[in-house]
Structure formats: structure tokens, C-alpha cells
Amino acid sequence: MKSGKCLVWIILVTSILFCNQLSASAQTWMFTPEEKATIYFQLAGAKRFIREGKYNEAESLYKEVLKVEPTNTIAQFGLGKAYLFEKKYNEAKICYKIAGSLGIPDGFLPAYYFNLSLIYIGLGNNKEAIEDLRKCLSIKPYYKGAKELLGMIEEAYKKDGNNTMITIERARP
């Protein structure tokens, strides 16, 4: 009798885990080709808006993608980037944490950590910025601007911890 109950529990737990995996991956295959194309063009348009400095427009497109596909890591990452450039650091941090929980593709990891460091600088948390810059550099040792920024923040942090505010302006393309 006990082995029968144990078998039922094993089957139940396995079924729940399988259903959870299906629901997580279902979003990618349940779209029609037209819907996939729309998402692709919205992401491409939002990326173009970011490059052009049109962050509100990018934000709108990323939010449209997330309405239909809330687990789209690229849209979450991009929305966080738009917020970062708009200096909406708390919103950016939330987006990046969600993107991180969804799983950042390997090619995006250096940018993920670099942008997180910029968010923490904006929030006045030099210690977290230093940690994320080190993660960025451990993945890609020559990531553009990361070494210089790390040196600047470490110097400020040694002097007086998080009390030194560092201002970073993004150069326009």
C-alpha cells in the first residue's frame, strides 16, 4: 500500500514538473508565423529607436512585445536598457532582474553585467556596480569601457564607499 502511494506521488510530481516546463516553453511555439514576425519587427524597431536615442518609442515597442510574450528575455533586457538611458534606474533594475531570472543568453552576459553596473551607479550603489563590472570583465576582459569605469568606481569607493556619486553620460551615436 505504501509503495502504491509513493508511486502516485512520484507520478504527480513528475506531471507537475512536466506541465511547468511545457507552459514555460509554450510561448515560443504557440505563435502564428505572422505573430512571430510582428514580435521580430517590434524588437528590431525598438533596437533602432534605442540607437537613435528615442527611448520612449523603444519603451513602447518593448512593452507591446511583453504584453503578448512576457517571458521574452530580449524585450525585458531592451526595456531595461531604455529605462537606463532615461535614467529610470529603479525600473531598469527591475527589468534586468526579471531578464536575469528568465536566463540571459551567453552573448548578452557582458552587456547585462555592464548595464547593471550603470544602473547601480545611478542608484548610488558603487559596491554592487563594482561586483557587476568584475563579472562583466570575467566574461569578456576587454569589454569596451568596463576596465576604465571599474577603476574609477573602485577609486571612489575606497575613498568613501557609496557616498561618492559618479555621473555617467551616454555619448549620442
The domain limits of the chain are 32-104, 105-173
Strands annotated E in 73-170: none
Look at residue 14 in the predicted model and tell me its pLDDT: 38
Look at residue 30 in the predicted model and tell me its pLDDT: 79
H helices of the chain, in order, are 2-29, 33-52, 55-68, 73-85, 89-102, 109-122, 126-139, 146-160
pTM of the full predicted structure? 0.75
Contacts 24+ apart (CB under 8 A), 51-56: 51/173, 52/173, 53/85, 53/172, 53/173, 55/82, 55/83, 55/85, 55/86, 56/82, 56/86
Look at residue 24 in the predicted model and tell me its pLDDT: 41
| Location of C-alpha cell 533602432 | 48
Look at residue 76 in the predicted model and tell me its pLDDT: 96
- The mean pLDDT values, 10 residues at a time, for the chain of 173 residues are 47 37 47 88 95 96 94 95 96 96 92 96 91 95 92 81 58 38
Task: State the cell numbers at 4.
Answer: 502504491
Q: Which CATH number fits domain 32-104: 3.40.50.970, 3.30.465.10, 1.25.40.10, 1.10.3720.10?
A: 1.25.40.10
Q: 119 with 126: CB under 8 angstroms? A: no
Residue 145 to residues 37, 95, 133, Cα–Cα distance (Å): 35, 23, 10
* Backbone Cα Rg of the chain: 20
Q: Residues 43, 170, 168, 140: is their CA dihedral positive or negative? A: positive
Using one digit for the tens of pLDDT, what is the confidence trace for 52-94? 999 999 999 999 999 999 999 999 999 999 999 999 999 999 9
Look at residue 168 in the predicted model and tell me its pLDDT: 57
What number of other Cβ atoms are within 10 A of residue 151's Cβ? Answer: 11
Nearest partner of 28 among 73, 76, 59, judged by Cα: 73
